[in-house]
Chains A and B, each alone.
Chain A
Amino acid sequence: MSSTIELGQLRRDRSNRRPRRTRLDPFPRDPVRRWILRLALVAPMLFFAMLDDLSARVEGTPNADLVGSVGAIDWSRGDAQWLAELYPHISMLIAAGNPLGRLGLSLVGAVAAGFLLQKVAEIIAQRAIPLSTGIILVIALAANPLFAYFALENLPGFLAITFFGLALADLVRFVNWGNTESGFRAGILIMMAALSDPSGILFALVAVLASPFLRHGRAYAPGLRAANVLVIGFPTAGAFATIAVLNVAFFRSPWPGLDLAALAASVPAASRDVVALYSTPEGWLLIAAVASAWLVALIVRRPAAMPVSAIVFLLLNIGMILGMFHPGAAGITFTLLTLLAITLIPAARTPTTNVLVDLVAVLQIVIAWRAAFESDVVLEWMLGIAAASLVLFG
């Protein structure tokens, strides 16, 4: 036997050690194409980021406040008090290392959007969802001003939802398909979401509370659901416990910036505001987004997904009451629920199901655009973009 044949045999044998992959394949499978897809998805967002920079910037957006918060930190203090002011760490560190101010944050948001949408495309491909339905779902999620504003003007919130979106796909693979690697990656991604924005803490809670409702792919063994919850929630809990321990060690308080008394005092007024929200078209649109998610759950015969959407909605409201969302934030509920709906679509469907999913996705597109026009801050942002476009293109 020639050495060439031996090497060929060896290569074949080595490849045999790896099981054939199907459901776990990245999309596109070729890394070069994957990067091209990401760049293609990033490109329009980069374009809007540039327009955004040319426009008269909307003040009071989360990115504007993030730049202000980082600028206010005194990095040279001997007592290192700034360590206690770093939360949300990931967003703060990005902002601190970014020389381009708000434009830089928008660019990072645009890149994150590209990664998130590529992951959504991957979920769609892994579930063998028809191309037409897939395109409609991606349009429903991303081709609207809510998504663009969210990505370009709320980096902390968008990073949190991006990490959470990436985690969702892993979470489903972990719980439904019994893929251990995905579970542990989901735990890490959820932690990163929680370290990107306070809303990420809510997302972590969503993941922890939702996982028992998902259909479990492993053979039942005592303690399985509890173990899954622990795997999903532990990194976040561990990270916050670490920060709290270090804060106690150095600053004698688990969370030096947190004024619990003031927070408690603000709850009644915030509750009234939230209740009032649902008497406005903006509030109705939030409920419509939840209703759409329930519709998808019913269409794909995943009733267990309905409590998940309900938990998300409940936690989002609690988040609003506790002030976990920036006043200038918009699009979080819509993006989150749409992401959840896409993630929970199963691989096995009938043609009728696909058509019904298409219809709900179209409904989502309408809801997204309507909600964008109902939100003052998004509307102002859109006008700014439009004005910048006019200037640029005459």
Chain B
Amino acid sequence: MALGGDASATRTADSEAFAELLVSGGLVSPENLAFARQVKQRTGAHIDEVLISQGLLDSESLLIAEAHAWGIHPIDLAAVAFDEAIVRSVPGQTYLDENWLPIRRNARGAIVVATARGVSPDRESAIRTRLGGAELQFVATTSWEIKNACLRLFRAEIADEAANELWRQNPSLSARITFSRGQKAGGILSALTIIGLAVVWPVQVVIGVVTVLSLVFLAGTSCKFLVAMRGARYDVVERITQRQVDLLDDRDLPRYTVLVPVFREANIVGQLIRNLGGIDYPTEKLEVLILIEEEDHETRDAVLTSNPPPHFRIITIPKGHPQTKPRACNVGLYFATGDHLVIYDAEDTPDPDQLKKAVIAFRRGGSETVCVQASLNYFNDRENVLTRMFTLEYSYWFDYMLAGLDLGDLPIPLGGTSNHFRTAALIELGGWDPYNVTEDADLGIRASALGYRVGVINSTTMEEANTSIPNFIRQRSRWIKGYMQTTLVHARQPIALMNQIGLRRFLSFVLLIAGTPLTFLGVIPFYLITAVTLVAPTELVAQFFPVWLLWITLLNFVIGNVIMIYLSMMGPYKRGTFHLVLWALVNPLYWLLHSIAAYKGLWQLITKPHYWEKTEHGLTTHVQHD
């Protein structure tokens, strides 16, 4: 048993004597204590957690009171000098799990140990054993102080673990190496073969490549359409009803961690705190960890000055490479205490009951369900053409495609935010791959490959749609590059993957993950071929291509476009945003942007595979209304 988990023996903060101490010391009013007891009765949280999370007691006062109750002195860990040799004699994760931390030897040779729990004889004995049998002197601190101290003391290790743990666990699942040796050899061999053939039979090779691309295009779009059609079967049915949410007993709710990675987003920090403050979940069981890069002082200052609620905490991400969102999330995962965990972006506004719906979904899904994905949609859909197209795309993807994949028990590439995890399973999966720039999609596929299940819930997080084309291209190039990385990672052992997940899921993976970048890469060449065919005399074209083959190839491409337009029309149906339906006709132009982004992504995959193209947020002039 973890030492920190021995709550009955060590939670002085819950005893009546301690409660009276808080009142008699003037730290808490009798009314506030009565309120905390009510909340404890309802949610099962401890009195100190209630008081802190409700802002009725500050951490410093609690520390003083606890120290007094435990009969030891309080200490400010930010101001002490640690003996690194002693600290490093035990793994850092142990301190976080067990809520204690050695500081240094005192004048008597005893090791001074900071503890965030009361000191029972068992606890003292266990800690002494950990520290090699030395004499101990306890001082009181808080769990959060211990976490911050660990972050400082184990900065390099945490940074390294966040970046490389998955790589160490299983190099073949990490995108740290973009192309494996086999992929490089196969790629070079294929390229040489095609070039060789093209020298001898140039026209035939071009015909072959164009034909294959057109078939991939048609197969990719058709697959999406068929899956989305399946997802449309129950679009008007609420999977988790309001009644089921109402029936949840707060006492049974698990502890939840919300990770919010932010980077240079000082402009929307206020929005973040407002939006996440609206989540309907007992704050005593909720921790919001705002993950801020070490160098990003502006955002950190903005968070501090916006006076966040007590259950919001800042985690400073130690400098390291690659500087990506998944690396920050891995650091957050290191400090997360929730049984479940979710990621939101700074500008996200989740449905207030989203966490509760996720809890229900996890209970229904059984232990094999490792993650549930909520829908994403945009509040600024009417801002310009781009936001309309973006909303159409997200609507069909999250409301229909993911539902179809879920119904078909197919691998689900997770979307950037609002993915809820069982924390323990996420750790078992190796966390996020910091070298993959669509770490979310990769994690969904990895979970499937390892026999876990990813599901969806009928809850929505509203986001800000990209309003500017350059910003859009940057964002999409990253997404498409990430899909390429994910394809390369999971295609390292294609036969093994197929055996592991079955042919049906494998084909779904190929068409959705590998097919998507290929489809986008094919758009510009096919537009050009169509334009040339329309302009050039048929006789001229016929000299190079058999007319019937070119006709069928272009038919595949145009029909593929028609299917995608039609698929986009499906998007608005679930939410009744019918004003968007006609905009689906603009899809071919929207795809042109995707294609440009795909070529940029391909170039970056070769030149700087781990580079994180940052998407600017807070560009919208629209305001979200409830």
Contacts and interface: CB of A to CB of B under 8 A. Distances in A.
A325 B147 CA distance: 80
Contacts of A78: 542, 547
A185 B235 CA distance: 15
Interface stretch (A60-68, A123-131, A232-240, A380-388): A232-240
A227 B585 CA distance: 12
Interface in B583-620: none
Interface residues of A, number: 45
A19 B234 contact: yes
A127 B579 CA distance: 32
Given A222-B578, A223-B581, A230-B582, A246 B565 contact: no
Interface in B294-329: none
Contact of B229 (A184, A219, A241): A184
Interface in A1-40: 6, 9-10, 13-14, 16-19, 24
Contacts of B406: 17
A249 interface: yes
Nearest to B369: A13
B578 A224 contact: yes
A16 B364 contact: yes
Contacts of B570: 180, 184, 231
Interface in A50-82: 78-80
Contact of B576 (A24, A184, A218, A249): A218
A183 B235 CA distance: 12
| Interface band, chain B | 35 or more
Which of A19, A241, A249 neighbours the largest number of chain B CB atoms within 10 Å of its CB?
A: A249
A181 B229 CA distance: 5
State the majority secondary structure of interface residues on A: helix
A242 interface: yes
Which of B232, B565, B579 neighbours the largest number of chain A CB atoms within 10 Å of its CB?
A: B232
Nearest to A229: B581
Nearest to B363: A13
B581 A180 contact: no
A97 B26 CA distance: 92
Contacts of A249: 530, 533-534, 538, 554
A16 B234 CA distance: 13
A10 B455 CA distance: 14
Contacts of B229: 181, 184-185
Interface string B523-556: 0000000100110001000100011101100110
B365 A13 contact: yes
Nearest to B230: A181
Interface string A249-261: 1111000000000
Contacts of A135: none
B559 interface: yes
A246 B555 contact: yes
A224 B533 CA distance: 38
A221 interface: yes
Interface in A248-295: 248-252
A179 interface: yes
A10 B368 contact: yes
10 contacts: A9-B366, A14-B365, A80-B548, A178-B236, A181-B229, A223-B578, A227-B573, A234-B566, A250-B538, A251-B538
Given A179-B232, A180-B400, A250-B533, 5 more contacts: A184-B232, A185-B229, A187-B566, A226-B581, A250-B547
